[in-house]
Amino acid sequence: MAGEGFFNFAKRCASFPAMSRATLQRIPLRANHFQGLGQKIHRVLFVAFVVQFLLIWVNLLAGVPNFGGARWPEGLLLVLCAASLISAMTRHLPGQNIILASAIILIISGLAHTLGAVIAIPFGPYRYTDRIGQVLFHPLPWAIPVIWLVAIFSSRGVARLIMRPWRKTRSYGFWVMGVTVALVLVFDLGLEPFATEVKHYWTWSPTNAGIFWHETPWVNFLGWAATATLILAFATPSLINKKPVKHQPVDYYPLVIWVIVMGLFLTGAAVGGIGMALVVEAVAIVGVIGFAVKGGTW
């Protein structure tokens, strides 16, 4: 009797998979509640960034560029800008790659500007003011590495757009690095007059340098180029998709961020009456948009 009972139990178990399959076919699959979450977060961050940008922009046009002494609005704008860029990159790259690249940018730029503030190498002699906000550690303000994060990520995205027609050539990667460094320098061309003459984030000490850009010595741009090159040399491997797709959509978001930030610098130059910076930045913005759109539509 015991053997017969075991046989009947085994027979029922054997028929279970077939019954389960028939049953499961009539049960609708539950949707993945986390599907598209990254895209939703990115949209929220971008909307928040645009709203904060408009507040800063209107305040700048109104002639009250420093919010009556408050520093948090500009800090929030910078954080939202960096966060929206990073969230946009997660659509194409693994999160750990972006974290590694971000850490490399923050560490190298932080070290470079710490040395710069202490021994004037590699950017020249300058001093941070209280307007730039809290420091991570003396004498490095927390905002400086984040500015580099925005400059590198947005400039590299624009460089990839510009160089898209040549993406299958063997020297494509080196050209992207070179164009990225050039765009970072253009970014700094707009940043320096904005930071020194409009916002007063830092001041430059007198030097014997023969060439200046609104009080900024030429050696500063050489230091930015060297720092950007060093950052890209270490961070680029993390920013390469190891499993590229054949028909990846063109990403214009870095161009949008780059143009918005440069537009803020342009507005500062207009409000501050800095004519040369206004002309140079306007020409740069129009030129970069033209090359990037042409490359993106190739």
200 φ/ψ sector (left φ>0, alpha ψ -120 to 50, else beta): left
| Residue 103: band (very low, low, confident or very high) from pLDDT cuts 50, 70, 90 | very high
Q: Which residues contact 60 (CB under 8 A, 6 or more apart)?
A: 198, 264, 267, 268, 271
Domain that holds residue 225: 94-296
* Average pLDDT of the segment spanning 10-16: 45
Does the pLDDT at position 256 exceed 70? yes
Which of 3-17, 204-218, 280-294 holds the top average pLDDT?
280-294
Name the average pLDDT for the chain: 87
With respect to residue 73, please indicate whether it lies within any of the assigned structural domains. Answer: no
The answer, yes or no, to whether residue 213 has pLDDT greater than 60, is yes
* Residues 163-178 pLDDT 10s: 999 999 999 999 999 9
Question: For the segment 227-254, what is each residue's pLDDT rounded down to a tens digit?
Answer: 999 999 999 999 998 776 666 789 999 9
Give, in degrees to the nearest 5, the angle at Cα 197 between 192 and 201. 70
Residue 6 has pLDDT above 60, yes or no: no
153 in any annotated domain: yes
Q: Specify the pTM.
A: 0.86
Instruction: Identify whether the C-beta of residue 183 lies closer than 8 Å to the C-beta of residue 162.
Output: no
DSSP 198: I
Per the model's pLDDT, the better-predicted residue between 16 and 271 turns out to be: 271
List strand residue ranges (DSSP E) for the chain, in order.
126-128, 135-137, 140-141, 202-204, 212-213, 216-217
In a domain, 184, yes or no: yes
Number of domain units in the chain = 1
207: confidence class by pLDDT, cuts 50, 70, 90: confident
121 domain residue, yes or no = yes
Q: How far apart are CA 265 and CA 281, in angstroms?
A: 8
Return the pLDDT at 15. Answer: 47
Whether pLDDT at 71 is above 70: yes
Answer whether residue 181 shows pLDDT above 70: yes
**Contact call for residues 162 and 296 (beta carbons, < 8 A):** no
Mean pLDDT of 54-70: 79
